[in-house]
Amino acid sequence: MQYRHIFLLLTLLFSLPSQAHVQWFVAPEDMKDVYFEFDFFYATVFAFITIFTVLAVWLTRLETKPNFIKILMGAEVNLSRRVYVMVFVFIQMIFFSIQVIKGGFIAPNIVLTPEFILFGLISQLLIVLTASISISLSGVMVVMTSLLMVLLTPWEIWVNYIFEFVAIGIFMLLTGSYVSTIDKQFINKFTTKNADELWLSAVTVLRIGIGAQLAILALTEKLIYPGLAVVFIEMFPFYNIFPQIGLNAGTDMHFVFFIGICELSLGLLLMSGVANRLTMIMLTFAFVTTAIIHGIHEVEGHLPIFAAAFVLLLTQRNEQAKLRTEPVNTNFVYS
């Protein structure tokens, strides 16, 4: 296989969830009535992803690793938690401010009926305004806005966002004390947990929420209803690079299945806490690549994910790294 083909294969692997929100580009009424007719190619794809997933878990658990793997998967980045929270909240506020300015609600494919548009805008505006006083209170508003989405939109829409935004809201609720003294006093009244315990709980909720959302998107937009993703591939045919790496038998349906299984695997890995750093590297690369391809529209919509990736990528080391007795000496440590 030529180097070009190897590069294309790696690009394929690292662009797994590149169509994370297919419905931003394809309306449900445009979905094709297609389904998977399993053949040897599907079986091969499934086996390949299974092997790749097992390899990622094995590499994470491997006690003796090359030093660069230890650094990549287990290096600790010594940023203060205050910085993590401030960057995370800042990006979230940019996202909700854009939604208010544009008259949107949560996502491009959510269109509220006229009588409820004002409710959606006010709830998002309150998220932004309360953040200047209390990050924890702003987090509560994010959760309430998510519940409002559940009330005002069909389940097949809100199920694609609810876990992500509830997790974001809970993260802000539990970590606001790192920035605001008001939040610190508020949290101390309602819990006896110390700051380390709250941080661990917040990051765990964020990791599980983002992982669950990826897994659900894999099911709803690719594996259960492949017609959505097929239309997307027809709109952007360069995504299906099977023919470019010599797999001429790989159709658009095969590629949709491949993307769906990959995204489902990454979501489950993230939820389970296995191969944390490796999973987040792949996801971050994928979303950045997609943002470059589709431009500002994609960047705006994925700002909450970018904020979560910033926190999870730098804080979520792998289990084996946590258990090692000797710290890894790395230059990727910042004070």
CA separation for the pair 125, 120 (Å, rounded):
9
Question: Which has the closest alpha carbon to 75: 280, 305, 270, 307?
Answer: 280
For the chain, what are the domain ranges?
3-50+92-315
Average pLDDT along the chain: 82
| pLDDT classification of 17: cutoffs 50, 70, 90 | very low
Please compute the mean of the pLDDT values over residues 192-204 and round it to a whole number. 88
Q: What is the DSSP letter of 182?
A: H
pTM: 0.83
Q: What pLDDT score was predicted for residue 55? A: 85
Decide: 20 and 263 in contact? Cβ < 8 Å.
Answer: yes
- Tens of pLDDT, residues 302-314: 889 889 988 988 8
Over residues 184-193, mean pLDDT: 81
Return the pLDDT at 295.
64
Please give the Cα distance from 162 to 192 (Å, whole number). 28
CA separation for the pair 33, 16 (Å, rounded):
23
**Mean pLDDT across the stretch 244-265?**
89
First-to-final CA distance of the chain: 44
Alpha carbon 4 to chain centroid distance?
29
Query: Is-contact 99 106, C-beta < 8 A?
Result: yes
pLDDT of residue 191: 77
Give pLDDT, residue 298: 67
